[in-house]
């Protein structure tokens, strides 16, 4: 089990592109999203959403930051149009993730591409792009396994949060709030370690961090992430071309 | 156990605007060959977006800089980075990060 979960050592044994392998490769991300999902469910419930509404939101919207925003804006009595527009902006970064993943799938039928894309998140993107970088391509079955495991985990976590959230005063206090940051750190480090251009990657990463801090001073957090990504990726592309 | 119409409307609308950016590039770009400059640019997106998310998660709170340096999260982040480099395991990285932050917050309450 432990061996299969390690995604950084791909050459120890041939790993099948199976659905089950995708599920296994999702395991390291479960904790991070379990805690944030629980928090999202609890916040939704506290904001006055019913458990059915929280469940529907996880099933249909399936996006962490968006669900926090919806709960907050519904509670504050925001208009439907304003909420939907905000969610659109917050989730716009998926355009970049979806585009970056596309070269790893060859001649994907439209229906399969739609299924894979509809369950794409930061975490499944991070795991998939790491595997894609090492192996050169990705299988649809593996990707579905990864996506479905993450989706069910999220659904379970948010519903549990809506159910039990009222009894837990400070869900953050057990360090679970750090699980998400640790997961992004892990995905970043593993990705940098597998590409063989560590100095360029390091420079791009530092650019992105500086850019997200600078951009946050003028635009909202989600737009800052998009701006930082565009700036840092451009810096990387120019560095690549130039050297 | 009820679902209000306005909330349902918000959920359906939000799901549509979330779905489109997720599926569109995959549906279009996996069926055609992208020019080399675009591929080169896209190859840096994973590093850029993950670093931006880490930066936002650790250095910012509600868009304002946090006093991250020398905080429990700062040392836990270092522990996570070292674990990631050393083990190359995502699971180990997450566990090391969470355990470190628990231990450090506990200790900082005592010292």
Distance from CA of B110 to the nearest CA of A (A): 15
- How many whole angstroms separate alpha carbon A36 and alpha carbon A219? 24
Q: Do A60 and B43 touch (CB under 8 A)?
A: no
- Domains of chain B by residue range: 1-32, 36-110
Interface ipTM: 0.87
For chain A, first and last CA: distance in Å?
42
- How many whole angstroms separate alpha carbon A185 and alpha carbon A180? 9
- How many whole angstroms separate alpha carbon A110 and alpha carbon A107? 9
**Digitized pLDDT (tens) for each residue of chain A, 243 residues in all:** 344 444 544 444 445 789 999 999 999 989 888 888 888 888 888 888 999 999 999 999 999 888 988 888 888 888 888 889 888 988 888 999 999 999 999 888 999 999 999 999 998 999 999 999 999 999 999 999 999 999 999 999 999 999 987 776 665 556 777 887 888 899 899 989 888 899 999 999 999 999 999 999 998 888 888 899 999 999 999 998 886
Q: Do A52 and B1 touch (CB under 8 A)?
A: yes
| A 51-110 near B (Cβ less than 8 A) | 51-53, 56-57, 60-63, 66, 70, 74, 80, 83-85, 87-88, 91-103, 105-108, 110
- Chain B residues in contact with A93 by the CB 8 A cut-off are 21, 49
Distance from CA of B50 to the nearest CA of A (A): 6
Best residue in A100, A106, A150, A214 to probe B by mutation, most B CBs within 10 Å? A100
Around A222, how many Cα atoms within 13 Å sit in the side-chain half-sphere?
A: 19
pLDDT tens profile B39-85: 899 999 999 998 998 998 888 877 777 777 678 889 999 999 999 99
Whether B53 has its CB under 8 Å from any CB of chain A: the answer is: yes
Residue A13, phi then psi, degrees to nearest 5: -160, 155
- Domains of chain A by residue range: 17-195, 197-243
| A 7-46 near B (Cβ less than 8 A) | 7-9, 27-29, 31-32
Q: Do B94 and A179 touch (CB under 8 A)?
A: yes
SS3 (DSSP) at A197: coil
pTM of the model: 0.80
């Amino acid at each position: 089990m432990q061996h299969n979960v390690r995604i950084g050592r791909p050459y120890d044994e041939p790993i099948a592109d199976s659905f089950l392998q995708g599920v296994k490769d999702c395991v390291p991300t479960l904790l991070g999203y379990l805690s944030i999902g629980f928090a999202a469910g609890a916040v939704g419930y506290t904001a006055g959403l019913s458990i059915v509404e929280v469940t529907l939101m996880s099933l249909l919207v399936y996006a962490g930051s968006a669900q926090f925003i919806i709960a907050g804006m519904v509670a504050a009595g925001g208009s439907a149009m304003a909420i939907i527009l905000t969610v659109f902006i917050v989730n716009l970064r998926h355009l970049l993730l979806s585009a970056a993943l596309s070269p790893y799938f060859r001649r994907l039928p439209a229906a399969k591409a739609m299924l894979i894309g509809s369950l794409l998140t930061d975490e499944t993107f991070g795991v998939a792009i790491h595997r894609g970088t090492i192996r050169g391509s990705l299988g649809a079955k593996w990707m579905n396994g990864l996506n479905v495991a993450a989706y069910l985990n999220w659904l379970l976590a948010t519903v549990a949060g809506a159910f039990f959230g009222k009894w837990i005063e400070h869900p953050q206090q057990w360090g679970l709030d750090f699980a998400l940051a640790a997961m992004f750190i892990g995905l970043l480090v593993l990705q940098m370690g597998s590409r063989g251009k560590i100095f360029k990657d390091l420079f791009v990463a530092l650019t992105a961090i500086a850019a997200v801090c600078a951009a946050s001073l003028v635009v909202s957090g989600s737009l800052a992430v998009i701006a930082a990504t565009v700036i840092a990726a451009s810096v990387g592309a120019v560095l690549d071309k130039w050297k | 156990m009820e679902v209000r119409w306005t909330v349902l409307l918000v959920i359906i609308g939000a799901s549509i605007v979330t779905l489109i950016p997720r599926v569109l590039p995959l549906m279009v770009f996996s069926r055609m060959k992208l020019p080399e400059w675009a591929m080169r640019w896209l190859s840096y997106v994973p590093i850029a977006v993950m670093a931006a998310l880490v930066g936002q998660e650790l250095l910012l709170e509600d868009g304002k800089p946090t006093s991250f340096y020398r905080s429990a999260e700062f040392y836990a982040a270092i522990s996570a980075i070292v674990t990631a480099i050393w083990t190359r395991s995502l699971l180990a990285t997450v566990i090391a990060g969470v355990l470190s932050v628990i231990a450090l917050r506990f200790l900082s309450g005592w010292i």
